């Protein structure tokens, strides 16, 4: 089933090189998506509040920082990131799952790298769009742990029941069912979500 949410494209802002009206809408929407727009030198030009909350070191801002330096701080492989940018340039999108940690605990992010184009259709940077799947991964880890006979024998009676794990998994699934966009451009009139 296809759902199409029409988003009117207004006159692009002065910063149209970084997504224009469509990216403005995504940055301001409460979608549960972590969004960062970087230029061709890997410097963060725009980001939403969720990205700053999860990725910015205490009391600092993401805007103006190199995404490569941030990756070094949080333990993301920059070679894999460079390959993602190259593939996104060739095919229009690159999808990957990344563990981010260890300082604030490991986060499981499902991400896409999307090329950004300016109003003339020229490449000008990339959007990194991620969904935090940490709660779902934790529920799955607990389910596997309880399914192992040796773990069940050692588990205290206060451990979650299978029903509680099922409910936890359902909540995590509902939280993370936002879909990732497949292309961002100043000239795109709609977001298409496929179910």
- Specify whether the backbone of 145 is left (phi greater than 0), alpha (psi in -120 to 50) or beta: alpha
Q: What is the pLDDT of residues 90-146, one digit of tens each?
A: 887 777 776 666 555 677 778 888 888 877 888 888 888 888 888 888 899 899 999
Evaluated on CA atoms 43, 48, 183, 106, the torsion sign reads: positive
Q: What is the pLDDT of residues 16-56, one digit of tens each?
A: 445 566 677 777 777 788 888 888 898 998 888 888 887 77
Judge: domain 2-133+178-194, CATH 3.30.450.20.
yes
Q: Where are the domains positioned within the chain?
A: 2-133+178-194, 134-175
pLDDT at 61 exceeding the cut of 50: yes
Tell me what pLDDT residue 88 has. Answer: 83
- Strands of 101-155 (E only): list them: 107-117, 123-132
Q: At what angle do helices 67-74 and 78-91 cross, to 10 degrees?
A: 130
Q: 97: how many CB neighbours lie within 10 A of its CB?
A: 12
């Amino acid at each position: 089933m296809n759902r199409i949410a029409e988003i009117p494209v207004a006159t692009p802002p002065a910063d149209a090189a970084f997504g224009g009206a469509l990216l403005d809408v995504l940055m301001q929407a409460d979608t549960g998506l972590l969004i960062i727009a970087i230029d061709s030198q890997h410097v963060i030009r725009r980001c939403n509040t969720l990205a700053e909350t999860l990725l910015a070191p205490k009391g600092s801002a993401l805007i103006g920082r190199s995404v490569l330096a941030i990756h070094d701080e949080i333990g993301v492989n920059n070679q894999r990131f460079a390959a993602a940018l190259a593939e996104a340039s060739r095919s229009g999108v690159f999808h990957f799952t990344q563990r981010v940690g260890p300082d604030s605990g490991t986060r499981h992010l499902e991400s896409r790298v999307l090329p950004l184009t300016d109003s003339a259709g020229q490449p000008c940077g990339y959007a990194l769009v991620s969904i935090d799947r940490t709660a779902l991964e934790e529920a799955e880890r607990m389910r596997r742990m309880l399914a192992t006979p040796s773990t069940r024998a050692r588990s205290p009676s206060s451990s979650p029941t299978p029903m509680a794990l099922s409910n936890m998994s359902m909540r995590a699934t509902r939280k993370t069912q936002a879909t990732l966009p497949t292309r961002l451009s100043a000239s795109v009139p709609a977001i298409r979500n496929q179910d």
